[in-house]
A and B are shown apart, each in its own frame.
Chain A
Amino acid sequence: MINGTAKATVAEGKAHAAARLNQHSISLLVNNKPGVLIRIAMVFSRRGYNIDSLVVSPTHNGKFARMNIVASGEIKTLEQIIRQLNKLIDVIHAKDHTGETVVEKELALIKVRCSPDRRTEVLQIAEHFKGQAVDLSESTILIQATGGTEKLDALETMLDKYGIVELVRTGKVIMARGETGT
């Protein structure tokens, strides 16, 4: 269900970019207690939506949690999904942020196949994307990068030719700008 972008190859990356047209960024403020996630996940799955990424974190008030969900599916059912999410007793509110100018960030850890002679090359790429090496071995290098989804996609594409051993992305965290609530 929660299908990260772990094994993204270049081809898949392109497919992802196309699929992203159908992607929606949704934020929820929910009760911070057991069973809430499954109720939310069921609303998506019933309408044929795939949850592409999901970030859950408690708010500064521990009673509630914030969820950021990127999900893909038909746009025409999205409004219905948001309403059904809002209907859940444990959901304080659900909002669709697709197309809004919100601050959206994610973090990626990318482990790249890298012999010592290619390190400089890889590090240069990482630096270009304001990433940094957080681990190094004889045969691999682990790059950490943060930013928007497109930026991380681009970095992923650039590193792919060296051979990505493992990749993990946090999924998007979203916050509305200024006085607007998320």
Chain B
Amino acid sequence: MPKKTCTGAEALIHCIQQQGVEYMFGHPGGAAIPIFDALVDSPIKFILTRHEQGATHMADGFARATGRAGVALVTSGPGATNTITGLVTAMMDSVPMIVITGQTIQSMLGMDAFQEADVVGLTYAAVKHSYLVRNPNDIPRIVKEAFYIAESGRPGPVLIDIPKDVSGAMFEPNYNVEIDLPGYSVPGPGDSAAIAQCAELLQQAKKPLLLIGHGAVISDACKPLKALVEKLQIPVVNTLLGKGAFPETHELSLGMLGMHGTAYANMAVAECDLIMSVGSRWDDRITGKLAVFCTNAVKIHVDIDPAEMGKMVKPHCSIVGDARLVLEELLPLTRKGDTTAWVTHLKKLKKRFPLHYRMHGGLKAQYVLDELFRLTKGKAIVTTDVGQHQMWAAQFYKTDQRFHWISSGGAGTMGFGMPSAIGAQFARPDALVVAVVGDGGFQMTQAELATAAVNKLPIKILILNNHYLGMVRQWQNLFFDNRLSGVDLEGNPDFVKLAEAYGIKAFHIKRNADAGRVLEKALAYNEGPCLIDAEVEKEDNVFPMIPAGASYEEMVLEPPKHKMEKPVGST
């Protein structure tokens, strides 16, 4: 039973617990002490991280493994500013997250008080919404609103900044409050006329293609999606974050499309006469050169966010609504068209242009991932950092289930992989969680090894270690005459020794011949976290590749023999 009179902090923690929150990730500090004090008597388990960025990525990983908001708790000033990368990461990928920041007392706001940062001001562009709590009586409503906003519609992070005099104030809380959000509405099932039109267009198409994005994962559209695909025999491509909405091992799946998508997925995009996006935002990794993207195809866009309509491509048919609800309504309206020739054609392309790599030379990252897939039977929850290893993991570790692929897509945040694996493992204690990281990104948040160790989380950290910031090196190699600049990670620690210093079991792979055997041992180790330092070939590049801002016709399948033009797209 909540107390009749309590502090703002106690009310806050009570309200958060009412939302079903089990874990909070964070780091304390002066302005947040009343909140930490309230945690002592709460059933919520607090996970102490070594850096606030790690806390946000853990909350993010927790959210992406469950669909529920992850919660981070930090202090004011630098504690709060350290969460900004995590907020942007969650914002870009529509991940529900609550970040609670301590703040200096209200009378000192704007006075350059110790550890004061205008965190609400600093994060306007990084959140779905934010609150500065000025009165403890507002706490129950604000917490309710924050979770509702974070988790509904197109999810996103919500920040709650709480001055210490508000968290420390004694008051009589009234928990029986309603949310008050007159400016917020959540789109539901979508316009019936547009859905009927969509059904018609699908039936007419000879070469239709479904483009599946994160929205399909978030809304749990998996079932109606599979039913639709199988009924209409439409091939499927997915975005990086769409992995898991539709099984990538399904015969109608062509895997990931876009910059480093599979050749056959990208060929399908270039050839299709209809492309229907379900929960993707036609990101620049996907469209390449927008002016010539699918110029001859009918475009259908299903998205819960009305601001996505027409932002990148101008759809012929747009449906604003929840992906699952839209597909459920669409399914019975559809009639099967004739896609046999198209499907047969794509199956041939799949055979002719498979993902491949050559096994001579040193340890191949792709082979390590192939082995990982084989040994885990594709059942692991895979988290990644950003860069070459991420693209290889997306290509070679096929994802069949929702919530089994956790990667920073939009923001491209290095250092995301390991902390998000920690969050995912807390969310799914019985699941096998593998963080596939690069040696660059891993070192950005490696302090969280302590968090993994102390909580004895059986996460597997697979470092695809090429001693380079590989993706930048790849660009310098392909587009800048191999003038390598700022990419050599000389000075890397011995990752095995580093892990052991934290009391973490560690393994090392250097030869292709050892990969399977060592991985098997590592996967069998469940006493706590383990780290696998896979020293892969230093100068391998990721293919296929559509250079940034180029058209699908310009896809490069093999290392080019001639120098390539500098890409016109941004990154």
The answer, yes or no, to whether B16 is at the interface (CB within 8 Å) is no
List the one stretch of B226-234, B305-313, B457-465 in contact with chain A.
B305-313
Q: How far is the CB of B62 from chain A (nearest CB, A)?
A: 23
Q: Tell which of A39, A80, A88, A92 touches B182, judged by Cβ atoms closer than 8 Å.
A: A92
Give 9 nearest A-B pairs by CB, closest first.
A83-B307, A89-B129, A92-B183, A89-B184, A91-B183, A84-B307, A87-B307, A83-B306, A92-B182
Q: Tell which of A31, A64, A80 touches B307, judged by Cβ atoms closer than 8 Å.
A: A80
Q: Tell which of B181, B306, B310 touches A87, judged by Cβ atoms closer than 8 Å.
A: B306
| Given known contacts A35-B120, A35-B132, A89 and B310 CB-to-CB distance under 8 angstroms | no
CA of A46 to CA of B126, assembled, Å? 13
**In the complex, are the beta carbons of A42 and B306 less than 8 A apart?**
no
**In the complex, are the beta carbons of A89 and B183 less than 8 A apart?**
yes
Q: List, in ascending order, chain A residues with CB within 8 A of B307's CB.
A: 80, 83-84, 86-87
CA of A31 to CA of B182, assembled, Å? 8
Q: List, in ascending order, chain B residues with CB within 8 A of A79's CB.
A: 310
* Number of chain A residues close to chain B: CB under 8 A: 21
Q: Tell which of A30, A34, A35, A80 touches B183, judged by Cβ atoms closer than 8 Å.
A: A30
The answer, yes or no, to whether A18 is at the interface (CB within 8 Å) is no
**In the complex, are the beta carbons of B124 and A42 less than 8 A apart?**
yes
**In the complex, are the beta carbons of A88 and B183 less than 8 A apart?**
yes
**A and B contact pairs by CB, cutoff 8 A, 16 listed:** A31-B182, A35-B130, A42-B124, A46-B125, A64-B182, A79-B310, A80-B310, A80-B311, A83-B306, A83-B307, A83-B309, A87-B307, A89-B129, A89-B149, A89-B181, A92-B182
Q: How far is the CB of B188 from chain A (nearest CB, A)?
A: 16
Within 8 A of B (CB), among A73-131: 79-80, 83-84, 86-93
Interface bits B292-327 vs A (CB < 8 Å: 1, else 0): 000000000000011101110000000000000000
Query: Which of A79, A83, A84, A92 has the most B CB atoms < 10 Å from its CB?
Result: A83
Q: List, in ascending order, chain B residues with CB within 8 A of A83's CB.
A: 306-307, 309
Which residue on chain B has the smallest CB distance to residue A90? Answer: B183
**In the complex, are the beta carbons of A89 and B128 less than 8 A apart?**
yes
Which residue on chain B has the smallest CB distance to residue A64? Answer: B182
Q: List, in ascending order, chain B residues with CB within 8 A of A87's CB.
A: 305-307
CA of A86 to CA of B307, assembled, Å? 9
The answer, yes or no, to whether A1 is at the interface (CB within 8 Å) is no
The answer, yes or no, to whether B493 is at the interface (CB within 8 Å) is no
Which residue on chain A has the smallest CB distance to residue B149? Answer: A89
Q: How far is the CB of A102 from chain B (nearest CB, A)?
A: 22
CA of A88 to CA of B125, assembled, Å? 11
The answer, yes or no, to whether A11 is at the interface (CB within 8 Å) is no
Within 8 A of A (CB), among B318-355: none
CA of A35 to CA of B127, assembled, Å? 13
The answer, yes or no, to whether A38 is at the interface (CB within 8 Å) is yes
Which residue on chain B has the smallest CB distance to residue A93? Answer: B183
CA of A126 to CA of B154, assembled, Å? 54
CA of A83 to CA of B309, assembled, Å? 9
**In the complex, are the beta carbons of B124 and A31 less than 8 A apart?**
no
Q: List, in ascending order, chain B residues with CB within 8 A of A93's CB.
A: 183
Interface bits A13-36 vs B (CB < 8 Å: 1, else 0): 000000000000000001100110
Which residue on chain A has the smallest CB distance to residue B121? Answer: A38
CA of A89 to CA of B150, assembled, Å? 11
CA of A93 to CA of B120, assembled, Å? 23
Q: List, in ascending order, chain A residues with CB within 8 A of B129's CB.
A: 89
Which residue on chain A has the smallest CB distance to residue B131? Answer: A35
CA of A93 to CA of B183, assembled, Å? 7
Which residue on chain B has the smallest CB distance to residue A94? Answer: B183
CA of A46 to CA of B181, assembled, Å? 25
Which residue on chain B has the smallest CB distance to residue A87? Answer: B307
CA of A86 to CA of B308, assembled, Å? 12
Q: How far is the CB of B312 from chain A (nearest CB, A)?
A: 10
Q: List, in ascending order, chain A residues with CB within 8 A of B310's CB.
A: 79-80
Q: List, in ascending order, chain B residues with CB within 8 A of A30's CB.
A: 183
Q: List, in ascending order, chain B residues with CB within 8 A of A38's CB.
A: 121, 124
Within 8 A of B (CB), among A131-150: none
Q: How far is the CB of A44 from chain B (nearest CB, A)?
A: 13
Q: List, in ascending order, chain A residues with CB within 8 A of B132's CB.
A: 34-35
**In the complex, are the beta carbons of A42 and B125 less than 8 A apart?**
yes
Q: How far is the CB of B13 from chain A (nearest CB, A)?
A: 24
Q: List, in ascending order, chain A residues with CB within 8 A of B120's CB.
A: 35
Q: List, in ascending order, chain A residues with CB within 8 A of B311's CB.
A: 80
Q: List, in ascending order, chain A residues with CB within 8 A of B125's CB.
A: 42, 46
Q: List, in ascending order, chain B residues with CB within 8 A of A90's CB.
A: 183
Q: How far is the CB of A32 from chain B (nearest CB, A)?
A: 11
CA of A34 to CA of B306, assembled, Å? 26
Q: How far is the CB of A174 from chain B (nearest CB, A)?
A: 19
CA of A42 to CA of B307, assembled, Å? 16
Q: List, in ascending order, chain A residues with CB within 8 A of B184's CB.
A: 89
Q: How far is the CB of B363 from chain A (nearest CB, A)?
A: 44
Within 8 A of A (CB), among B116-139: 120-121, 124-125, 128-130, 132
Q: How far is the CB of A63 from chain B (nearest CB, A)?
A: 8
Q: How far is the CB of A84 from chain B (nearest CB, A)?
A: 5
Q: List, in ascending order, chain B residues with CB within 8 A of A86's CB.
A: 306-307
Which residue on chain A has the smallest CB distance to residue B182? Answer: A92
Q: How far is the CB of A43 from chain B (nearest CB, A)?
A: 10
CA of A169 to CA of B120, assembled, Å? 32
CA of A89 to CA of B127, assembled, Å? 11
Q: How far is the CB of A6 from chain B (nearest CB, A)?
A: 27
**In the complex, are the beta carbons of B121 and A31 less than 8 A apart?**
no
Q: List, in ascending order, chain A residues with CB within 8 A of B128's CB.
A: 89
**In the complex, are the beta carbons of A31 and B306 less than 8 A apart?**
no
Within 8 A of A (CB), among B100-153: 120-121, 124-125, 128-130, 132, 149
